Amino acid sequence: MKIIELDKKVLKRNDEIAEENRKALKQKGIYVFNLLSSPGAGKTSILERIIQRLKGRVDIGVIVGDVQTDNDAKRINKYKIQTVQIITNGACHLDSKMVKNAIKKIDLNNVKVLFIENVGNLVCPSNFDLGEDVRIVIMSTTEGDDKPLKYPPMFYSADVMIINKIDLLPHLSCNVDEIKNNALKINPNLKIFETSAVKGTGIDGLCDWIMDKIKK
């Protein structure tokens, strides 16, 4: 019981800071997307594709979370946009305080959309609000049709699901319709995109949707 109470206190404080983040970013007119997935699903590759299409149309900022190394941040930084790396040193998720500290390193006057690339994990990050407007969970066709059923809190808490690596479908036994059905059993309100970060398939539609969300 004591552990449960401690968890409640930690999450309560996290939610309070998340709301502070949300209000501060909203005052600046910044729209925030939290990208989540298991390791290797393609978060960084999809983010690179998004940046390639949206840079020049909207001012972008990126916060990258990783357990170790700044490899992903280096990939994003080559596009010459504001990028802040958070290294968690073993923690399996970002929390709102980490994001609050990272935001201080960004010139918010020159950002319209902020992408937060969370740590690769489908368990812990689902519990931590960071102050985002939209939560996007990315899964790949290589992970199995039943992924949403194995990690229901993540898919329940998400607003959007991206099914990535559809270019590999000819080589897999994966059934995309089954993935969708399983995800929609958990969260009937999920908006779903199918993409290939390698081929660029589906990225234009995803970017159009992002731009529509920013304009609202």
Angle at 162 between CA 141 and CA 20, to 5 degrees: 140
Q: What is the pLDDT of residue 91?
A: 84
pLDDT above 90 coverage of the chain, percent: 88
| Domains of the chain, earliest start first | 2-215 (3.40.50.300)
Measured CA to CA, the distance from residue 185 to residue 179 in angstroms comes to 10
Measured CA to CA, the distance from residue 190 to residue 183 in angstroms comes to 8
- Through-space distance between the first and last CA atoms of the chain, rounded to whole angstroms: 44
Measured CA to CA, the distance from residue 60 to residue 214 in angstroms comes to 12
Residue 2's pLDDT band, with cuts at 50, 70 and 90, is: very low
Judge whether residue 191 has pLDDT over 70: yes
| Interval 58-86 mean pLDDT | 93
User: What confidence tens digit (pLDDT) does each residue in 125-138 have?
Assistant: 999 999 999 999 99
Q: Map residue 122 onto helix, strand or coil.
A: coil
Judge whether residue 178 has pLDDT over 50: yes
Measured CA to CA, the distance from residue 28 to residue 112 in angstroms comes to 8
Judge whether residue 46 has pLDDT over 50: yes
pLDDT above 70 coverage of the chain, percent: 96
The region of weakest confidence among 3-7, 26-30, 59-63, 168-172 is 3-7
Judge whether residue 115 has pLDDT over 50: yes
